[in-house]
Amino acid sequence: MLNYKCLVMDHDDTVVMSTPQVHYPSFRKTLSEIRPDVKMSLEEFMMYCFEPGFYELCFDILHFTQEERVNQYAGWMKYMETHIPDFYPGMAGLIQRQRDEGGIVCVVSHSNSLNIRRDYRKAGVAEPEMVFGWELGEGKRKPSPYPVKMIMDEYKLDESEILVIDDLKPGLDMAEKCGVEFACAGWSHKIKAIEEYMRKNSTHYFASVEELERFCFGRRL
Convert the pLDDT of each residue in 95-137 to its tens digit. 999 999 999 999 999 988 999 999 999 999 999 999 999 899 8
pLDDT at 152 over 80: yes
Convert the pLDDT of each residue in 188-207 to its tens digit. 998 999 999 999 999 999 99
pLDDT at 92 over 60: yes
- The span from the CA of 50 to the CA of 117, in Å, is 24
- Residue 221: per-residue pLDDT: 44
Q: Write phi, then psi, for 201 (nearest 5 degrees).
A: -105, -10
Beta bridge pairs of residue 104: 6
pLDDT at 141 over 60: yes
Convert the pLDDT of each residue in 172-186 to its tens digit. 999 999 999 999 999
Residue in 167, 211, 147 with CA at minimum distance from that of residue 6:
147
Residue in 5, 49, 6 with CA at minimum distance from that of residue 24:
49
Render 84-130 in DSSP notation, one character per residue. -PPBPTTHHHHHHHHHHTT-EEEEE-SS-HHHHHHHHHHTT-PPPSE
Q: Which residue has the higher pLDDT, 159 or 52?
A: 159
pLDDT at 52 over 70: yes
